[in-house]
C-alpha cells in the first residue's frame, strides 16, 4: 500500500471505530504501526534520524515526561525525567541502561530502527510524543509530554533530529525465526538443576537457558517445585492486591524486543475494567490484559544474597508478559514480606487443589 491508500484506509477505520488507537488501526489495515505513521508524515508527524541514544540523552532537557513500553498484553507507563543514561559496549553487543528512581530502562539498542515525532494536543495539554520502532515496524518505546514538560526543549529535539528525507519508504524487515529449542527428552535435566543451584546472580539465568538450548518455560516445568511452581493465572491480580494492601514496594518489569521498563515503589489504585487489570497511580500506570495470560509461575533463583523470588506471567507463545519482584537493593537479601506474599498465593493454591 502507498501512503495515500494507507491514509484512505485509516479514514475508513476511524469512521467505523471512533477513538481507535494507532496500534489497533494499523492491525485493522494490515500494516505495521511505523508504516501507519510514515504515511502521515507532514505537519503532525515528523520522521527523525535513527539516533536513539542521542535523542534519549537530549530528553533530559524536556523535564518530566511519560515513558511507555508495552508488549502484546501489557502496557507500562511511568512519569519522570530521562537522565543518567549509560552506554556499554559497541555494535550489536551494545546495551544501554537508564537507572534512576523514576525512569528505569534496560535498552537493547540494536533493535531500534525507526523514530518519529508525533505532534498533537490532548484534552489536558500537549500530548506530543517521540515514538521508536523496530525493523518490523512494531513499537518499542514511546515518550509523551506531560503538563510539566518543557515544550520548547521538545521542539528543539524535533528540529535537531529531523531527517532530511521525510518521504522515503520504510525498509520493513521480518525477524528470523528463532532456532528451535531442544526437545525435553534431549535435555540433561539433572545437570540443568545442578547449574541452577550454583547460580550466584539472577542475570546468570539467561546464559543458563542458552547453554542448554531450552525455553524459559521448559526450565520452569522441569526444575522442580522448590525452584519453580505453577500458580493460577489470577495470581497476577492477587499479587498486586497483596502488595497494595501491605504498602509493599514492588518491582514491575514489562518488556519487548527492544526494552524492559521497570517500576519500583508502592502501588495504590487498582481497577479492573473487563479483561484489563490496571494500576492507576499518579506516576505509574499498568494495564494488564488478563485474557492474554496462559501460564503464571513463582520462581526462586539462587544468588550470593540468597534466594530471589519472582512471579513470571506468560502468554500462549511462551513470551513474558510481566514479571514481579519485591524491591531489593543489590547486596541485600530478599524482603521477608515479599516471600510471605508469594507464600500466601501458593498456600491458597495448595488448599484449592486439596
pLDDT at 59: 97
- Cell numbers of 1, please? 500500500
- For residue 105, CA distances in Å to 68, 95, 140, 148, 273 come to 11, 11, 12, 21, 28
- SS3 of residue 339 by DSSP: helix
Of the options 3.40.1570.10, 3.40.630.10, 3.40.50.970, 3.40.309.10, the CATH number for the domain spanning 188-353:
3.40.1570.10
Ranges in the chain annotated CATH 3.40.1570.10? 3-83+112-161, 188-353
CA nearest to 251, candidates 204, 331, 308? 308
Which CATH superfamily groups domain 3-83+112-161?
Answer: HemS/ChuS/ChuX like domains (3.40.1570.10)
The pLDDT of residue 169 is 86
Query: Tell me, what's the pLDDT at 354?
Result: 43
Q: What is the pLDDT of residue 28?
A: 92
What is the model's pLDDT at position 174? 93
pLDDT at position 350: 56
Contact 76, 320 (CB under 8 A): no
Please give the sequence-ordered ranges of beta strands (E in DSSP) within 100-198, or none if there are none. 104-107, 114-118, 121-122, 125-126, 129-133, 139-145
Instruction: Extract the C-alpha cell encoding 21.
Output: 488507537
Tens digit of pLDDT at every position of the chain (354 positions) = 888 899 989 999 999 988 888 899 999 999 999 999 999 998 799 999 999 999 999 999 999 999 999 999 999 999 999 999 999 888 767 889 999 999 999 999 999 999 999 998 666 556 899 999 999 999 999 999 999 999 999 999 999 999 999 988 899 999 998 888 889 999 999 999 999 999 999 999 999 999 999 999 999 999 999 999 999 999 999 999 999 999 999 999 999 999 999 999 999 999 999 999 999 999 999 999 999 999 999 999 999 999 999 999 999 999 999 999 999 988 889 999 999 999 999 887 656 654
Q: What local confidence, expressed as pLDDT, does residue 175 receive?
A: 92
| Predicted local distance difference test score (pLDDT) of residue 347 | 81
Amino acid at each position: 500500500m502507498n501512503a495515500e491508500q494507507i491514509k484512505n484506509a485509516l479514514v475508513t477505520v476511524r469512521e467505523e471505530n471512533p477513538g481507535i488507537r494507532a496500534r489497533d488501526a494499523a492491525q485493522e489495515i494490515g500494516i505495521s504501526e511505523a508504516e501507519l505513521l510514515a504515511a502521515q508524515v507532514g505537519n503532525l508527524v515528523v520522521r527523525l534520524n535513527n539516533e536513539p541514544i542521542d535523542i534519549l540523552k537530549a530528553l533530559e532537557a524536556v523535564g518530566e515526561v511519560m515513558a511507555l513500553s508495552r508488549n502484546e498484553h501489557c502496557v507500562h507507563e511511568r512519569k519522570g525525567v530521562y537522565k543518567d543514561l549509560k552506554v556499554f559496549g559497541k555494535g550489536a553487543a551494545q546495551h544501554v541502561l537508564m537507572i534512576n528512581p523514576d525512569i528505569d530502562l534496560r535498552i537493547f539498542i540494536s533493535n531500534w530502527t525507526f523514530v518519529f515525532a508525533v505532534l498533537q494536543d490532548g484534552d489536558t495539554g500537549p500530548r506530543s510524543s517521540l515514538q521508536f520502532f523496530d525493523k518490523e515496524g512494531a513499537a518499542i518505546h514511546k515518550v509523551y509530554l506531560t503538563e510539566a514538560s518543557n515544550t520548547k526543549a521538545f521542539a528543539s529535539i524535533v528540529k535537531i533530529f529531523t531527517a532530511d528525507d521525510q518521504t522515503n519508504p520504510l525498509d520493513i524487515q521480518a525477524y528470523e525465526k528463532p532456532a528451535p529449542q531442544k526437545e525435553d527428552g534431549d535435555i540433561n535435566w539433572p545437570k540443568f538443576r545442578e547449574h541452577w543451584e550454583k547460580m550466584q546472580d539472577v542475570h546468570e539465568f539467561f546464559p543458563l537457558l542458552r547453554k542448554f538450548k531450552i525455553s524459559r518455560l521448559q526450565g520452569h516445568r522441569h526444575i522442580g517445585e522448590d525452584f519453580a511452581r505453577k500458580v493460577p493465572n489470577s495470581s497476577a491480580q492477587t499479587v498486586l492486591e497483596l502488595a497494595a494492601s501491605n504498602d509493599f514496594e514492588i518491582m514491575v518489569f514489562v518488556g519487548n524486543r527492544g526494552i524492559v521498563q521497570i517500576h519500583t515503589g508502592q502501588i495504590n489504585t487498582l481497577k479492573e475494567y473487563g479483561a484489563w487489570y490496571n494500576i492507576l497511580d499518579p506516576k505509574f500506570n499498568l494495564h494488564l490484559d488478563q485474557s492474554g495470560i496462559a501460564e503464571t509461575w513463582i520462581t526462586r533463583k539462587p544468588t550470593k544474597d540468597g534466594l530471589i523470588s519472582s512471579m513470571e506471567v506468560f502468554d500462549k507463545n511462551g513470551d513474558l508478559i510481566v514479571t514481579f519482584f519485591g524491591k531489593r537493593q543489590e547486596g541485600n537479601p530478599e524482603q521477608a514480606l515479599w516471600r510471605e506474599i508469594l507464600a500466601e498465593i501458593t498456600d491458597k493454591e495448595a488448599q484449592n487443589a486439596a
